[in-house]
Structure 1
Amino acid sequence: MDAKILHTLEYAKIAYLLMQHAATSLGKEAAEAIRPHVGLDEVKRGLQATDEAYKADRLKGNAPFRGVADIKPQLHRSRIGGMLNPAELLQIAETSRGSRRVKRHILQLHEDDPVPLLASIAGQLTEPKPLEDAIFACIDEQAAVMDGASPELAAVRREIRGGEGRIRERLEQMIRSSSVQKMLQDAIVTIRGDRYVIPVKQEYRSHFGGIVHDQSGSGATLFIEPEAIVAMNNKLRELRAAETREIEKILQKLTALTAEYADDLLTDLELLTELDFAFAKGRLAHQMRASLPRMNDRGFIKLRRGRHPLIADDKVVPLDVELGNQNTAIIVTGPNTGGKTVTLKTIGLLSLMAMSGLFVPADDGSQLCVFDAIYADIGDEQSIEQNLSTFSSHLTNIIRILNTMTAKSLVLLDELGAGTDPAEGSALAIAILEHIHRLGCRIVATTHYSELKAYAYNRKGVVNASMEFDVQTLSPTYRLLVGVPGRSNAFAIAERLGLSRTIIDHARGEVSEEDMRVENMIASLEEDRIGAEAERQTAEALRRELEAQRARFEAERRKFDEQKERMLEKAREDAREAVAKARREAEQVIADLRRLAMEEGASVKEHKLIEARRRLDEAAPERKASGAKKPAAKPQRIEAGDEVMVHSLGQRGHVVELSGGGAVVQMGILKMKVELGDLELVKRPEAAKQQQPKQAASLKRTRDENVRMELDLRGANVEEAIVEVDRFLDESFLSGLGQVYIIHGKGTGVLRTGISEFLRRHKHVKSYRLGNYGEGGTGVTVAELK
């Protein structure tokens, strides 16, 4: 892309904003060097990286690039045999550790929320853990070689510390002596040139042997190494030299290890640069409230509320424009300072940003094209040094554009044909536009010439546009109106400012009739546009309201469906449990009855039949009134002797008699009353004469079917219990029961005693006793009735 175009459209300012979001020096260099791409696949890959980084930053924050640095110089020096110092080696280890953190961060994110491109890049990081561990084992966070770097270094340093201690101890003994203190300037031990010395007054120089290493500025103090410790200092210097040699050996070893991993680390630096660059683009998108544009290579541009990224949010006016579908050229007219130039720069800069893999400050659904080049002639480029006028400067630039553009280029022309005679300028402008249009380029041009309005109106593929101007406030609104040519507002402005009506009418008379018709047509179009705009806004508000209502309705419907499904599932589960329970209880009742029949033959006790029937009734699941019964295909007449199916029990039986809207059905040795709706006819008696069931024990009863053989009084007091027992005994006697069970529990025995006393005097009780084993023991009293 031509550097002049990038400068004209202020592309470098976008690069500067991007640099502020890079976390490493590598990322900042990549941001500063950002350039638009001309390949669709490359642009889409850049936008995908930005999109994934945008999502990753929103979900988990920025990747942890802390510690990552540009270590390329250190790596190159290690490869040619140079020795790295501890700080450089520490930087290499921290970069390796930072690389590992970045890789782990992105791959963990990818497991929860897929970011395939970033994960692919991060997955290639090599993680040279052995080198990292080796460096951190030898060098601490202050970039100092640690004692544990090697056994030899540890031993030398122990000797150095011991030697330093002995020297200090010897010197401190000297300076504590009263005879020596008067000769010292200060009673301290200090160091000059890595050797321990004491400050001695000048006049006492002869009292001390040894070496003078320094003196004060005034010369009154000499820093003397006493002869007694010269040998000790010499030994200490030898140890320090040995320490230096050992440190160099350690550093050489680490540098050689670094050289082995240099190629991997250089590759990691490229990958980390790409990742940091992607995250910087994602954070810039957050800052600009930008969105991902759809890209194409067919010259189509559709901006929805596009905003110039370098204009403050509270001042920028969104732009809606479409170019390249039916219309390949837009001619924008309007007053000065109306926003025409900003419109050109917005279209050009947003195209450059998208081609660079950046999100654009526009609403979702915007589309941009990957052009092979973008050309712009914007602004007054008059050059006094080159003796070029404004017209000549513009024309020189336009000629350069005409010589290099292709059918896949975007051309932006500001004030086309300006700076010369209006008649000639407009004719030249039309000729230039026609040439570019025939080539197939996408064009956005601004002009003041009314002739270009007519050209755009009559030429297929070219559309008029204008910058809106508010005559009431005499100020531009900076809104682009596509399809409406700009009108001259000179007369309206002059009238608003107070120019005489006579002068204005005379001026109107000087305008040709054709121009007046054009102006009137434009005025009419603008009125229609304003009305259509108001209606569109109303329709848009209604649409949003309807969409909101529909969204609420859909949410309520989904909630209702989910609730209904949960209720149905619960009902089905309850029904399954009830049926299973009923089946188990019914099978148990039938098994008990069969056992009783086998044990007692035909003489089954009546109270045992009643108890079995009660258990069977309790085991049957409750049936809803809303059609729980199986509807019959056609009404059936049930008669005595018919073989029927009892649906609630899943058992077959024979109808003994019909009674009160129901039927008494015998199933094996059990008789029970069943509703007719619960029966289904299986066979008539004539068809089943040879298959009559074996008669089982039966018992004629005249008592009420609902009378129970037991009364549960647990929890009642004696007075309440006596009333209930009296009523219970009366009902049992009238029903013909021979024996009943009164359950009072064990407790303290007060209730049992009270009931026993009452039974002893009751007229229907023949005898009574406590329950036997299996009947409830002392918690039940069994009464035999007369």
Structure 2
Amino acid sequence: MDQKILKTLDFYAILHTLAHHAATSLGKDRAEKLEPIGDFEEVKRRLKATDEATNVDRLKGGAPFGGIRDITAALHRARIGGMLNTTELLDIATTIFGARRLHKFIEAANEEYEVPLLMGLCGNLADHKPVEEAIRRCIDENAQVLDSASPELARIRQELKTNETRARDRLEQMIRTPSIQKMLQDNIITMRGDRYVIPVKQEYRGHFGGMIHDQSASGATLFIEPESVVQLNNKLRELTLKEQAEIEKILRALTAKVGEVVDDLLNNVDILGELDFIFAKAGLAREQKSTMPRMNDRGFIKIKRGRHPLIAPDKVVPLDIELGNQYSTIIVTGPNTGGKTVSLKCIGLLSLMAMAGLFVPAEEGSQLCVFDAIYADIGDEQSIEQNLSTFSSHMTNIIRILREMTPKSLVLLDELGAGTDPAEGSALAIAILEYIQKMGSRMVATTHYSELKAYAYERQGVINASMEFDVQTLKPTYRLLVGVPGRSNAFAIAERLGLARSIIEHARGQVGEEDQRVESMIATLEENRLTAEAERHTAEQLRREVETLRRELEAERQKFREQRDKLLAKAERDAAEAVAKARREAEEVIAELRRLAKEAAGSVKDHQLIAARRRLDQAVPELRDKSAKAPKKKADRIEPGDEVLVTNLGQKGHVVDIGDTEATVQLGIMKMKVSKANLELVKQAASGGGKAAQPQATSSINRTRDDNTRMELDLRGQNLEDALIEVDRFLDESFLANFGQVYIIHGKGTGILRSGIHDYLRRHKHVKSYRVGNYNEGGIGVTVAELK
């Protein structure tokens, strides 16, 4: 790809940003050297790798590249037999460890989301852990050779410490002697050239003997090695040389180990650099909120809300454009500062980024093409040195483009034909457009010439476009409108700025009738477009609201289904428990009967026992489908006196009076009005429809059971006075029915109703004892009374 084009379209600025996302110098180097390519399959592979890294980054966080260094130079020196220093060896060890850690990280990510390309690269990493361990045994984290690197080195260093201690002790003894202290400039021990010395005043230089190693700038202080420590210092020097020789021996041995695996390590460095580069592309995609474009090789571009990556997100205006399907050429017209050049660069830059394997800042579903080359003539390239005018510079560049382009190229031309006579410039621009279109290249061109609007309107495969301009604010909106030619806003702007109407009308008269018709047509198109966009926005808003309601309704349905399933499951469990309880009781009855039969010496026969058990089995409750119920008898046949079933209460009663929509029904001691829709005829009155005898006057206490005596009484919601009346009647009926135990349901509430009922039961003649219900009987919300 032409380097000039990459610079013109700001591709190098993208690479600079990309390099900042690389964790190692290896990745940075690849990022800075990245170039778009025209190989369709390779572009898809690069994008797939970026996509895998993006998913890993999203699922597992940033990849660990710590400790990985560019050890290429050290490896080449090891290959030719050079000795590596401690820093280089430590870098090799940390790089081996970093490669192993990165491999494990990508393997863990692959278990959650398959990343075959990244795994393929990791599969080629060689793990030379023995070399790493050998280096770490000899060199610490500060790149210092450890005493334990060899027994000889440990011995030498121990002897060094011993001699250093002797030398320092001897000098310490000297500087603490009062007679010597007056000869010293300072009471300290220092070193000059790896030898221990003391600072002596100039006038006492002859009192110590030994050697003078240095003096101060003024000459007043001499750094003297006293004769008494010369032998010790010589010994220290000898040991130091031995230490250096032993360290060199160790480093050469480690270098030899590295040299045995140089090829593998060089391959590792290459792979690690590639992985760092791929994850840097993922980091750039995350920063720019970019997506993976769909690529093709048929010259088709469809950018959905594309953003120029170098413009601040809060200022950039998204671009929507399609090229290469119904039309291969787009001609953008409109005034300056409207955003034509930015749109042109955005198309070219996004294409270059995709061809380089980078995600593009656009919405999902955007499509870009792998071109064999992208050509651009953008900006003023006037050259004083070459004596070229603006027009000449542009034409030189365009001539080169026309000579090199192919049918698989993308051509971007800014201000085509500018810089010369308008008539000749427009004619030349049309001729260039005709040539490029016949060649079959994809092209986007911007121009000021109104003649090109008519050209685009008349030619198949060519379409007009323009940059939107708000006449009310006199500012461009920077939106590219494909299909709408640019409109001249000079008269509208002048009128808004206050130019006299007479002058504006005179100016309009100077414009040809054909041009006026074109402007009128463009104005109509603009008005229709704005109306259509407003309607589309309204429809989109309605669609979102409907979608929200649909989701809420579906959630409610799902909630209802879950609740229904829970209730059905609970009902089935309760039914199963009831059946099991009934069967247990039946077994107990049978056992009791058999016991009685034995005691009665055969007076109870086996066939009687079998019949009794059959009756018990038939008494077990069955769950029936509501749909299997007998058809209801029509309510319009019901008359006063008839026996009916109130379906919504599950109780039977007699009709007292009947109206058009409601009927008065006697339910035990209670009268209530019921909708005719909730009545089902059970039995007609024997009198053939005459009114039933009116029941005796009763209290209006609300009961939840029918007039048949039951073993439980529900008093929830009643006051204490009415409840006690109902309790008294209930106990009398239960006593007559010979019930041994009854249940009074009063609820938990504040406890007033429960306390009042307990006081009443305590003194009732039919009550033997009472207690609060057990856990499975309703707890403190139920009182169980034992009758006499």
TM-score range, shorter chain: 0.7 to 0.9
Counterpart in 2 of 1:3? 3
Aligned-pair CA distance for 1:394: 1.1
Aligned-pair CA distance for 1:325: 1.2
Residue 354 to residue 209, structure 1, CA distance change in 2 (3 Å): same
Counterpart in 1 of 2:388? 388
Matches within 5 A, 1:400-479: 400-479=400-479
Aligned-pair CA distance for 1:333: 0.5
Gaps of 5+ in 2: 632-709, 712-730, 741-788
Counterpart in 2 of 1:151? 151
Which amino acid in structure 2 is aligned with residue 507 of structure 1? A
Aligned-pair CA distance for 1:179: 2.4
Contact 1:589–1:615 (8 Å) recurs in 2: no
Q: Which secondary structure does the structure 2 equivalent of 1:534 belong to? A: helix
Counterpart in 1 of 2:777? none
Distance of 2:114 and 2:620 partners within structure 1: 51
Cα offsets for 1:590-628 (capped at 9, x unmatched): 67766876786633499x989x979968x9865446549
Residue 131 to residue 457, structure 1, CA distance change in 2 (3 Å): same
Distance of 1:295 and 1:375 partners within structure 2: 19
Distance of 2:188 and 2:130 partners within structure 1: 47
Counterpart in 1 of 2:164? 164
Counterpart in 2 of 1:198? 198
**When the two structures are aligned, how many residues end up with a matched partner?**
644
Distance of 2:417 and 2:333 partners within structure 1: 13
Q: Which secondary structure does the structure 2 equivalent of 1:291 belong to? A: coil
Which amino acid in structure 2 is aligned with residue 5 of structure 1? I
Matched, 1:118 2:118: yes
Counterpart in 1 of 2:93? 93
Q: Which secondary structure does the structure 1 equivalent of 2:223 belong to? A: strand
Counterpart in 2 of 1:296? 296
Distance of 2:735 and 2:386 partners within structure 1: 132
Cα offsets for 1:270-321 (capped at 9, x unmatched): 2211221122111211211222211111111111111111111222111111
Cα offsets for 1:394-430 (capped at 9, x unmatched): 1111111111111111111111111122222112111
Q: Which secondary structure does the structure 2 equivalent of 1:309 belong to? A: coil
Distance of 1:615 and 1:250 partners within structure 2: 100
TM-score by length of 1: 0.76
Counterpart in 2 of 1:59? 59
Counterpart in 2 of 1:646? none
Gaps of 5+ in 1: 633-705, 708-725, 738-786
Contact 2:304–2:365 (8 Å) recurs in 1: yes
Matches within 5 A, 1:588-603: 602-603=602-603
Q: Which secondary structure does the structure 1 equivalent of 2:158 belong to? A: helix
Distance of 2:390 and 2:468 partners within structure 1: 27
Residue 278 to residue 599, structure 1, CA distance change in 2 (3 Å): farther
Matched, 1:270 2:270: yes
Distance of 2:283 and 2:373 partners within structure 1: 27
Counterpart in 1 of 2:681? none
Aligned-pair CA distance for 1:387: 1.6
Contact 2:211–2:227 (8 Å) recurs in 1: yes
Identity across matched positions, percent: 68
Counterpart in 2 of 1:669? none
Matches within 5 A, 1:274-423: 274-423=274-423
Counterpart in 2 of 1:42? 42
Q: Which secondary structure does the structure 2 equivalent of 1:222 belong to? A: strand
Distance of 1:620 and 1:105 partners within structure 2: 68
Residue 113 to residue 570, structure 1, CA distance change in 2 (3 Å): farther
Distance of 1:318 and 1:377 partners within structure 2: 23
Contact 2:590–2:609 (8 Å) recurs in 1: no
Which amino acid in structure 2 is aligned with residue 294 of structure 1? R
Counterpart in 1 of 2:257? 257
Which amino acid in structure 2 is aligned with residue 513 of structure 1? E
Q: Which secondary structure does the structure 1 equivalent of 2:411 belong to? A: strand
Residue 581 to residue 355, structure 1, CA distance change in 2 (3 Å): farther
Q: Which secondary structure does the structure 1 equivalent of 2:303 belong to? A: strand
Counterpart in 2 of 1:32? 32
Aligned-pair CA distance for 1:498: 2.7
Which amino acid in structure 2 is aligned with residue 372 of structure 1? D
Matched, 1:537 2:537: yes
* Higher deviation after alignment, 504-513 or 520-529: 504-513
Distance of 1:581 and 1:297 partners within structure 2: 76
Distance of 1:422 and 1:727 partners within structure 2: 116
Counterpart in 1 of 2:247? 247
Residue 234 to residue 498, structure 1, CA distance change in 2 (3 Å): same
Contact 1:585–1:616 (8 Å) recurs in 2: no
Contact 1:292–1:359 (8 Å) recurs in 2: yes
Counterpart in 1 of 2:106? 106
Contact 1:338–1:477 (8 Å) recurs in 2: yes
Cα offsets for 1:446-493 (capped at 9, x unmatched): 111111111111111111111111122222111111111111112222
Q: Which secondary structure does the structure 1 equivalent of 2:463 belong to? A: strand
* Higher deviation after alignment, 221-230 or 251-260: 221-230
* Higher deviation after alignment, 563-572 or 439-448: 563-572
Contact 2:597–2:605 (8 Å) recurs in 1: no
Matches within 5 A, 1:541-690: 541-569=541-569, 571=571, 602-604=602-604, 623-624=622-623, 627=626
Contact 1:107–1:123 (8 Å) recurs in 2: no
TM-score by length of 2: 0.76
Cα offsets for 1:200-245 (capped at 9, x unmatched): 2222222222222222222222222222222222122111111111
Contact 2:579–2:621 (8 Å) recurs in 1: no
Q: Which secondary structure does the structure 2 equivalent of 1:240 belong to? A: helix
Q: Which secondary structure does the structure 2 equivalent of 1:411 belong to? A: strand
Counterpart in 2 of 1:495? 495
Q: Which secondary structure does the structure 2 equivalent of 1:281 belong to? A: helix
Q: Which secondary structure does the structure 2 equivalent of 1:515 belong to? A: helix
Q: What is the CA RMSD across the aligned residues, in angstroms?
A: 3.3
Q: Which secondary structure does the structure 2 equivalent of 1:383 belong to? A: coil
Matches within 5 A, 1:725-764: none
Counterpart in 2 of 1:70? 70
Residue 521 to residue 247, structure 1, CA distance change in 2 (3 Å): same
Aligned-pair CA distance for 1:58: 2.5
Cα offsets for 1:519-559 (capped at 9, x unmatched): 11111111111111111111111112112222222333334
Distance of 1:25 and 1:171 partners within structure 2: 51
Distance of 2:400 and 2:59 partners within structure 1: 48
Which amino acid in structure 1 is aligned with residue 392 of structure 2? S
Distance of 1:728 and 1:542 partners within structure 2: 65
Residue 114 to residue 459, structure 1, CA distance change in 2 (3 Å): same
Distance of 1:615 and 1:284 partners within structure 2: 81
Which amino acid in structure 2 is aligned with residue 4 of structure 1? K
Which amino acid in structure 2 is aligned with residue 113 of structure 1? Y
Contact 1:156–1:239 (8 Å) recurs in 2: yes
Residue 544 to residue 200, structure 1, CA distance change in 2 (3 Å): same
Cα offsets for 1:718-741 (capped at 9, x unmatched): xxxxxxxx9999999x99x9xxxx
Which amino acid in structure 1 is aligned with residue 74 of structure 2? Q
Residue 517 to residue 281, structure 1, CA distance change in 2 (3 Å): same
* Higher deviation after alignment, 56-65 or 86-95: 56-65
Counterpart in 2 of 1:486? 486
Distance of 2:593 and 2:613 partners within structure 1: 10
Aligned-pair CA distance for 1:588: 7.4
Q: Which secondary structure does the structure 1 equivalent of 2:6 belong to? A: helix
Q: Which secondary structure does the structure 2 equivalent of 1:126 belong to? A: coil
Q: Which secondary structure does the structure 2 equivalent of 1:341 belong to? A: helix
Q: Which secondary structure does the structure 2 equivalent of 1:320 belong to? A: strand
